Amino acid sequence: MKIGIGNDHAAVEMKNDVVAYLEEKGYEVVNYGTDTNESCNYPDYGEKVGRAVVSGEVELGILICGTGVGISLAANKVKGVRAVVCSEPYSAKLSRQHNNTNVLAFGARVIGIEMAKMIIDEWLGAEFMGGRHQTRVDMIMAIEDK
């Protein structure tokens, strides 16, 4: 599976650790930056990864900024993105099973790398359950066209 990853200056070190973790697990990772600690604007990276997911360039996206909030808000503005910010694994798992999230975000200033790994494992390991959840996800996506 191909996973796109993006981050701002607050999360370069955590991004590098996450990339290494994903590659070790056999995932192909496409890095959309940033790769320096120079202050940058997280919306650029949220949008880049969001567009990569929606276009099919990558299957899923992972975003990291200081809190995970700003970068996920930016990604959610791309039509077709369902991004979730998680600080614990339970919501990450349920966000896949019930909400069919296609982008996961977390904060490098909020959680440590071991929690990030647990969150990623639960998120990538879960499958969308469809059925009544499909109806609700369809309702969410329909809002984009109103």
Query: For residue 83, which amino acid is it?
Result: A
Q: Is 33 a binder of ligand RB5 (CB under 6 A)? A: no
Q: Is 69 a binder of ligand RB5 (CB under 6 A)? A: yes
Q: Is 8 a binder of ligand RB5 (CB under 6 A)? A: yes
* Contact stretch for ligand RB5 (CB under 6 A) within 23-31, 66-74, 88-96, 115-123: 66-74
Quick check: 60 and 124 in contact, CB under 8 A? yes
Q: Which residue among 21, 54, 57, 66 contacts ligand RB5 (CB under 6 A)?
A: 66
Strand order in 83-85's β-sheet? Answer: 28-31, 2-7, 60-65, 103-107, 83-85
Quick check: 33 and 11 in contact, CB under 8 A? no
Q: Which is nearer to ligand RB5, 68 or 89 (CB)?
A: 68
Question: Would residue 65 be called left, alpha or beta, if left means φ above 0 and alpha means ψ between -120 and 50 degrees?
Answer: beta
98 is catalytic: yes
Q: Residues in the site for ligand RB5, rule: CB under 6 A?
A: 8, 10, 42, 65-67, 69-70
Return the active site residues: 65, 98
